[in-house]
Amino acid sequence: MRLAVRGLVRRFGGLAAVAGVDLDLNAGEILGLIGPNGSGKTTLVNCISGVLPSTAGSVTLDRHDITRWSRVRRARAGLARTFQNLRLFRFLTVRENIEVGMDAARGRERGQTGIPSELEARLGLEDLARTVVSQLPHGVQRRVEIGRALASRPTVLLVDEPAAGLNDAETAELRELLLAVRSDFACSILLIDHDMSLVLRVADRVQVLDEGQVIFVGRPQEAFKQARVVEAYLGVQ
């Protein structure tokens, strides 16, 4: 098992945004994390990645308890993420952004010099390596952000709303990209997205949150057969 979360709680004052969540992400798996706005999805990912400290509970990565580790130490252990709102260095080139991902996670170790060009080739960015990212379409910038995350050679990739702002064609490309990342990089993926056409087509399992609690874990095609999921996610009584 790559990632295990047990009893995770994150409070903001008296509000428990995440209220005792368990989560398992297996080696080679894509797990979709879905739920209505405010259900605790991004807060959970922030706690897993170290952006926020958890109030209680534990996070284990490849059998190492990383609950109190810094973001940098988690990255060096094999955990990488993207963000709902793009956090690229807009006035750096595609290659420079990817190199930042290398530096932030593991530094420039011997033998890493070929990583940027390798990622550019696999992500279809070869001809754009020297282009400043602010000049690129939104969908291409998403690919650059995924490339920057992969530059650290993670075992687990947390992807937060990658389809946000994409059109149908770009979402279809993203779907194929996520499947390729899983196979080409031997990387487990935790995927948050509101685009159900994306999640249901790429996820092996889905986990549904509502008000900071897990209300379903199982096969994607079974999720919306559950009355509680339909009520929570779609607002249907």
Q: What pLDDT does residue 89 have?
A: 87
109 in any annotated domain: no
**Sequence-distant (≥ 6) Cβ neighbours of residue 176 within 8 angstroms:** none
Q: What pLDDT does residue 237 have?
A: 46
115 in any annotated domain: no
**SS3 category, 60:** strand
139 in any annotated domain: no
80 in any annotated domain: yes
Strand 30-34 relative to strand 188-192, pairing:
parallel
Give the domain extent around 39.
3-88+156-234
The enclosing domain of 186 has a CATH number of 3.40.50.300
Domain count, the chain: 1
96 in any annotated domain: no
146 in any annotated domain: no
| Mean pLDDT of successive 10-residue stretches along the chain, which has 237 residues | 93 94 96 93 96 97 95 92 85 91 60 71 89 92 91 92 90 92 93 91 96 94 89 66
Alpha carbon 16 to its chain's center: 22
Q: What pLDDT does residue 95 have?
A: 92
Q: What is the 3-state secondary structure (H, E, C) of the chain?
A: CCEEEEEEEEEECCEEEEEEEEEEECCCCEEEEECCCCCCHHHHHHHHHCCCCCCEEEEEECCEECCCCCHHHHHHHCEEECCCCCCCCCCCEHHHHHHHHHHHHCCCCCCCCCHHHHHHHHCCCHHHCCCEHHHCCHHHHHHHHHHHHHCCCCCEEEEECCCCCCCHHHHHHHHHHHHHHHHHCCCEEEEECCCHHHHHHHCCEEEEEECCEEEEEECHHHHCCCHHHHHHHHCCC
135 in any annotated domain: no
Distance CA 176, CA 127 (A): 20
30 in any annotated domain: yes
